[in-house]
Structure formats: C-alpha cells, structure tokens
Amino acid sequence: MALVDRFELVQVLPCLADGSKIRITAELGTDIEEALPYLNSVIKSAVYNSIGKSLTIKKDGMFFTFRGRSINATKLRDVDHANQELHSWIELINRTWERRQMITPSFERRMELTALQIFRALPSTNCKQCGFVHCLAFAVKLLSDSVSVMACRPLFTPEWRAKRLVLLEILDAAGYPVPPEFMKPG
Amino acid sequence: MGAVMAIYLDHNATTPTDPAVVNAVVRAMSESWGNPSTLYGSGKRARTILGDARASVAALIGAKEPEDIVFTSGGTEGDYMALTGPFLAHSGSKNHVITSMVEHKAILLTCARLENRGFQATFLPVDEKGRVDPEDVRRAITPRTLMASVMLANNEVGTINGVAVISEICHEAGLLVHTDAIQAVGKIPVDVESLGIDLLTLSGHKFYGPKGVGALWIRKRTPIISVLAGGAQERGMRPGTENIPSIAGMGVAADIAVGRLPQEASRLRSLRNRLWEGIWKAIRSVKAHGDLKTGLPNVLNVSFGGYDAEEMVLALDRQGIEVGTGSACTTGEPLPSHVLLAMGVSPAEARSSIRFSLGRANTEQDIDSVIAALIRIVNK
C-alpha cells in the first residue's frame, strides 16, 4: 500500500524571487517524516535537517522542502506544473518507502560544515569587527546560525571578495540562509 | 456588491494610485497620445505634458533646473543608470564604488555585476539602527574610487542616512555621489541642493503615482553616459519614446505630495507611534528596529519573538490586514532580511520581523484594528 495516497494544494502564491512563477504548499494525506532519511539517502542532492525534520531539494532551479505532512515548493511555472511535480515526488516517496528495507537511511546533513571549514573561508585577520576576539569564535557562531555572515565586515570589501563568494557558496550548499544579494550573480 | 477593502499597511512596497493621478493618466492617454519628438500639434501637446511633469518632479526634490530630471521606467532603472553610467563615461583607471550593505537589491546586484566585470565594490556596514557612518565612507575611499552610492532612507526599517555629510566627504576626494531616495521622496522633504549629491533616484509608485515610471536627477556636468542607445529623448540619457501617460500621472502625484508633505509626515508619525505603543503594551517579546525618532515617519519594523513572520503576514491577511516582511524567498523558506542581518539582528529575530508602512488612507481606527488582530494572532 502506498505511503502517500493523496495530497491537496492548500496555498498558491506568487514566487517572491521570480514574479512570473509561483510557490505552493501542499498538504499530504500521510505523515512522511519517517521516510525523509530514506529519501536523503536516495537523492544525492538533498539536504536533510535532522533538527527541523525537513528535507530540501533543488531541482532545475526549483526548490522543494519536504516536512512531515507538507511539501513547499518555489519557482514553479503554474498550478499544472506544480501538480505534475507533486505527483512525481509522491511517486518517488512511495517507491522509496516500498524499498526501504534495501536502503540505509541517512540522517546526515549533506555538506555538513565544521567551524574549521568556515574559519578557512574567513579573512583570518582577527580584526574583532564582528564582536568576537578570534575568527574561529565567529566561525563557531556562524555554524550555529546565531550570527549572520554580514557581521564580518572585511568580507564585504574588494580585498576579500573571493573569500566572501566561497563562504556564501558553502553556507548556501549546507542549507544555511545567506543573503543572495552578495553571492556571485548569475 | 463592492469588495471590502483591506487595511493596507505596506506603503513602502507600493502605494494606491491617487484618483487625480488616474485621471491625469487617462486624459493623457486619450488626448495627448502624440510623440513629443515631432513638430506638429499632437507632439507639442505631449511635449507640454512632459515639461509640466518635469517641473513638478523637480519641485518635489528642490531641483532648480527641471531639465536635470531624466524620466525612467522606475527606481530599478534609475539606480542601474546612476551606477553604471558614470563608469561608462570614465576613461581612466578608476574602478571602485562604495555603497552600503543595506541598499536595495537594485544597487547591490548592480554592484555585484560590476564586480563580475572587474570593477570593485565596498559594501559598508551599518550600526544597530541601520545607519552608515560617514567616517566609514571616508576610510573606504581609495585612489581608484569613482563614486559612492548611499541610500537616503531605508525601505525596511526607515533609517535616514546623513547623505549631506557623506556628499561633503566624497566631493573633497573628487568622487561622485548618488543617493537612492526612492523611499524618501514624498515622505520627507528632499532637497538635492541641501544633500549636495550628483545623482538621485526616485520612483512614482512610492508616492501615489503610477507604476513603471520614475526619474533620475543628474546634476549638470556630471560625467555620465546613457546605458541605452537610441534616440535623443531625455537629452540622450534615456532614449526611447516617452511614457507620456505615466509621466503625466507622476507629475500630478508630485504636485499632490508637495502640498501634503508637512502635515502628512506629522500625521503618519503619530499613527506609527500609536501602533508601536499598542504593540509593545500588549505583546511580549517584541522589538522595534531602526530609529523611530529620526527615521521615516511611516515605518515600523518589529520582531515578534518566536513567531514566523510569513505565517503572521498570512494570518493578518485572513483578517483583512496587509503588511510586509523583508524576507526574500529562494528555497520555499523565507530568508531573513539582509538589512536586519547587517544591523546585527540575529537570523531568528530577522525571520520573525514584520514591516508596517503606513500611508494616506490609514486612520486611528485602522491602527487599533491592527493591534487587536495582532493580539488575537499571538494569543491563539
């Protein structure tokens, strides 16, 4: 029997990032929280958040966030497109769940960052402009998402632009919220 | 049966079009459809409208010479022109622009594009109120700096920068100065001579004018080249047949704004303060961002600790109240506002922030209704 047998589009709004597209929320008939680690194992580009119990996947410029009873998605063309994508994902969820005995679930956050990795992408000048004595201390706070990367003022000068782009890229890949305005433009 | 109007508190996103503006647009569309670049009667009528609107917009910003106003398609285009035009005109080795971390995306992403093409940008930090320190501007100047761009008033928190002081510092060093005044024009007195700047951007739909029209004020003799190629319209700075109906509308909006400015600013400040007092008296764990004493009179940005801003906005919408958040959305999960993050607000607090931006139609009754709605939401 399929894990998810129905869904309902409960919200359709304009996409904030691209006015010509939409973002949606779909409610699922079943809680899929248990299936998320299996999906994390199967989908190599997924980012699993074990604390928030969510799975985020980027696909063809669209973003999908799976939680227990909902799927949020952005940058879809229209409602038909949304329904197509949702049907496709639900099929995958059901197939994965059906095969779960053969899959080792993964509870890891892909691109798990360490404070040291973040530190290496910082200017390492210990300038204290961020309010911390040492860049490593700032890196630790950044890792816990309790400060913003914008507190590191040198990163926003020409001298450290290259480091800024690298750091924002790795934070973004690890699922941290980064201000897109300061990333490398497309 | 007519629809029940929502209580609209997102005037920094856009403003309702004034009925007089609508009339002006329709009249221009019906009666003055000629091409202003032609010699005959219908062209002359269109040219007259252009001239009148130019004078009105000039008066709104204290510009002595109306011909220094270049009409654009809006704030984004004006910002882009202001940043790239001077670099196009520059034939030397200067390749650096100074701006701030809290500018509108139009400025930040234009700077990012310039960086991609080998130019350099410094994004200055702000203090906890969202203000740029003019001394930070001074410290950022190098022999390769061509210009600085610092916004006059911030769209999310309403903080007003000391642009006049910044202009002085920059001119001493031989730099050009641009200010994005999109959120300030029509809300507070703006005077290009007092500010001492070389370029200023404004946008019609922020002061009850039409969308899709704005202006870039360019001080005479500012070295700048158009980013578009084509006809000689707008002194060659913005080729393309002019959008007469929208320009006509913006001119009328400017006239109305000039007439209402002093009393409206005071009225909005009083309403805004009423809203903030009502919120902090009734709801715990709230924090206002920006500077309520010296910032824009109509803006209140509040974090509601422990609540998700987007869910609150939707809950308010269900109660007929429309407000804004500063968040951007890329993953389906709203990102915290870069302005708040730059001010040192934590990501969690930034995600719980709502921006209330008041306008002409708002009344005390509206404010009291919003407070009551917020109390209902947080008490659920």
Instruction: Please report the pLDDT score of residue A18 as a whole number.
Output: 76
What tokens appear for B243 in the block? 């959008």
Does residue B91 sit in helix, strand or coil? coil
pLDDT at A185: 76
More confident residue, A5 or A61: A5
Interchain CB distance below 8 Å, B125 and A148: no
The confidence score (pLDDT) of residue A72 equals 93
pLDDT digits (tens, 9 = 90+) for A4-37: 999 999 999 988 767 789 999 999 999 999 999 9
Candidate from B116, B121, B332 with C-beta closest to A63 = B332
Cβ–Cβ under 8 Å, residues A176 and A143:
no
Does residue A11 sit in the same domain as residue A98?
yes
Residue B178: name the closest of B190, B165, B191, B196 by CA: B196
Q: What is the pLDDT of residue B138?
A: 98
Chain segment B358-371, per-residue pLDDT in tens: 999 999 999 999 99
Alpha carbon distance A83, A80 (integer Å): 5
For residues B320 and B188, the answer to whether their CB atoms sit within 8 Å is: no
* Chain B residue nearest residue A71, CA to CA: B332
Binary contact (B122, A16; C-beta < 8 A): no
Say which CATH number the domain at A151 has.
Answer: 1.10.15.40
Question: Is A93 a domain residue?
Answer: yes
pLDDT band at B187 (very low <50, low <70, confident <90, very high): very high
Q: What is the pLDDT of residues A98-116, one digit of tens each?
A: 999 999 998 877 666 789 9
For residue A51, tell me if it sits in a domain. Answer: yes
H/E stretch holding A26: strand A22-28
Q: Are B152 and B181 in contact (CB under 8 A)?
A: yes
Return the pLDDT at A111: 64
Written as six digits, the tokens of B100 are 């701030």
Does residue A12 sit in the same domain as residue A47? yes
Task: Find out whether B94 and B330 touch, Cβ atoms under 8 Å.
Answer: no
Which residue is listed with tokens 């690298």? A166
Cα–Cα distance measured from residue B311 to residue B252, given in angstroms and rounded to the nearest whole number:
38
State residue B4's pLDDT score: 64
Q: What's chain B's average pLDDT?
A: 94
Q: Which residue has the higher pLDDT, B306 or B102?
A: B102
Asked if A98 and A121 sit in the same domain, the reply is: no
* Burial (0-12, 13-18, 19+ Cβ within 10 Å), A103: middle
Domain-embedded: residue A108: no
User: Is residue B3 predicted with pLDDT exceeding 70?
Assistant: no
Mean pLDDT of A163-185: 85
Tell whether A43 is covered by a domain. yes
Chain A CB contacts of B10 under 8 Å are none
Torsion of Cα atoms, B185 then B191 then B195 then B196, to 10°: 130
Alpha carbon of B320: minimum distance to chain A alpha carbons (Å): 17
Nearest to A23 among B101, B121, B329 (CB): B329
The two three-digit tokens of residue B351, written as one number? 């995600």
- Average pLDDT estimate for B99-123: 96
Q: Is residue A30 domain-shared with residue A92, that is, in the same domain?
A: yes
Cβ contacts of B318 on chain A, cutoff 8 Å: none
CB-CB neighbors (< 8 A) of A59 in chain B? none
pLDDT of residue B285: 86
ipTM: 0.86
CA distance A139 to chain B (A): 15
Hey, which residues does B96 pair with through a beta bridge?
B120, B145
CA distance B244 to B31: 11
| Domain CATH for A75 | 3.30.310
Q: At what angle do helices B309-318 and B364-379 cross, to 10 degrees?
A: 120
Q: In this structure, are residues B81 and B227 in contact, taking their beta carbons and an 8 Å threshold?
A: yes
Residue B320 at interface with chain A, using a CB cutoff of 8 Å: no
Rounded to whole angstroms, the Cα distance separating B71 from B68 reads: 10
Residues A84 and A124 in one domain: no
B311 touching A, CB under 8 A? no
Q: Is residue A83 part of a domain?
A: yes
Mean pLDDT of the region B229-255: 96
Residue B1 pLDDT exceeds 50: no
The C-alpha atoms of residue A149 and residue B55 are separated, in whole angstroms, by 45
What confidence score (pLDDT) does residue B210 get?
A: 98
Residues A123 and A66 reside in one and the same domain: no
The Cα A47–Cα B303 span in angstroms is 28
Q: What is the pLDDT of residue B330?
A: 45
Q: Which domain holds residue A131?
A: 115-182
Contact criterion met (CB < 8 Å) for A184 and B124? no
Alpha-carbon distance A45 to A109, whole Å?
A: 11
Q: What is the pTM of this model?
A: 0.83
How far is residue A59 from each of residues A62, A63, B321, measured CA to CA in Å? 5, 6, 35
Give the pLDDT score at B103. 97
**Distance between CA atoms of residues B367 and A60, nearest Å:** 44
Average pLDDT over residues B246-254: 98
So what's the pLDDT on residue A186? 61
Mean pLDDT of chain A: 89
Test B112 with A150 for CB contact under 8 angstroms: no
pLDDT at site B331: 44
- The pLDDT tens digits for B323-344 are 998 655 444 456 789 999 999 9
End residue of a domain, out of A51, A78, A102:
A102
| Local confidence band at A149 (pLDDT 50, 70, 90 cut-offs) | very high
Given the DSSP bridges, would you call strands B321-322 and B299-304 parallel, antiparallel or unpaired?
Answer: unpaired
Same domain, A96 and A119: no
Query: Same domain, yes or no, for A98 and A119?
Result: no
pLDDT band, very low/low/confident/very high, at A144 (cuts 50, 70, 90): confident
Structure tokens at B215: 């202006």
Interface probe with B: pick from A49, A181, A183, A184, most Cβ of B within 10 Å: A181
- Final residue of a domain: which of A76, A102, A128? A102
Instruction: Tell me whether residue A28 is in a domain.
Output: yes
Cβ of B331 and A150 within 8 Å?
Answer: no
A146 CB within 8 Å of a chain B CB: yes
Determine contact, residues B47/B33, Cβ cutoff 8 Å. Answer: no
CB proximity B13 to A under 8 Å: no
How far apart CA B42 and CA B49 sit, in angstroms, is 11
CA dist B105 and B111 (Å) reads 9
Residues of chain B contacting residue A183, judged by C-beta atoms under 8 Å apart: 112
- Say whether B335 and A15 touch across the interface (CB within 8 A): no
A136 with A114: CB under 8 angstroms? no
Q: What is the number of domains present in chain A?
A: 2
Strand, helix or coil for residue B117 = coil
Task: Kindly give the residue spans of alpha helices, DSSP state H, lying in B186-284.
Answer: 192-195, 244-282
* Strand, helix or coil for residue B77: helix
**Separation in Å, CA B300 to CA A25, A41, A134, A143, B345:** 29, 45, 35, 31, 15
Interface of B with A in 328-357 (CB under 8 A): 328-336, 338, 341-342, 344, 346-348, 350
Pair A94, A126 in one domain: no
Nearest CA in chain B to A17: B329
Task: Convert the pLDDT of each residue in B289-309 to its tens digit.
Answer: 999 999 999 999 999 987 878
Answer yes or no: do A131 and A169 share one domain. Answer: yes
Residue B2 has pLDDT above 80, yes or no: no
- Taking an 8 Å cut-off on Cβ atoms, the answer to whether B330 and A74 are in contact is yes
A19 and A96 in a single domain? The answer is yes
Task: Please name each of the domains of chain B with its CATH number.
Answer: 7-16+262-379 (3.90.1150.10), 19-260 (3.40.640.10)
Instruction: Give B244 to chain A, closest Cα distance, Å.
Output: 26
Encode pLDDT of B142-176 as tens digits.
999 999 999 999 999 999 999 999 999 999 999 99
Spatial CA neighbour of B243 closest among B50, B22, B107: B50
Give, in order, the Cα–Cα distances in Å from B18 to each of B6, B75, B92: 17, 19, 46
- Cβ contact A182–B338 (<8 Å): yes
Show which of residues 14-53 on chain A sit within 8 Å of chain B, judged by CB atoms. 15-17, 23
Question: What are the residue numbers of the active site of B?
Answer: 329
Taking alpha carbons only, the member of B220, B180, B233, B228 closest to residue B74 is: B180
CB contact under 8 A, B341 and A148: yes
Q: Do B124 and A147 lie within an 8 Å CB cutoff? A: no
Identify the residue among B94, B119, B123 best suited for mutation to test binding to A, counting A beta carbons within 10 A and taking the highest.
B123
In a domain, A15, yes or no: yes
User: In this structure, are residues A66 and A55 in contact, taking their beta carbons and an 8 Å threshold?
Assistant: yes
Please classify residue B312 by burial: count the beta carbons closer than 10 Å to its beta carbon, then call 0-12 exposed, 13-18 middle and 19+ buried. buried
> B56-82 pLDDT, tens per residue?
999 999 999 999 999 999 999 999 999
Residue A110 in domain: no
Q: A118 exposed, middle or buried (CB, 10 Å; 0-12, 13-18, 19+)?
A: buried
pLDDT of residue A88: 87
Q: Is A95 found in the same domain as A14?
A: yes
φ and ψ at residue B118, rounded to 5 degrees: 95, 0
Distances (CA, A) of A27 to A11, B151, B313, B314, B377: 9, 42, 20, 17, 22
| Interchain CB contacts (distance < 8 Å): A and B | 93
- Could you read off the pLDDT of B28-60 as tens digits, one per residue? 999 999 999 999 999 999 999 999 999 999 999
Question: Strands across the sheet with B286-289, in order?
Answer: B286-289, B299-304, B353-357
B113 to chain A, closest Cα gap in Å: 6
Last residue of a domain, one of A102, A123, A153: A102
pLDDT above 70 for B372: yes
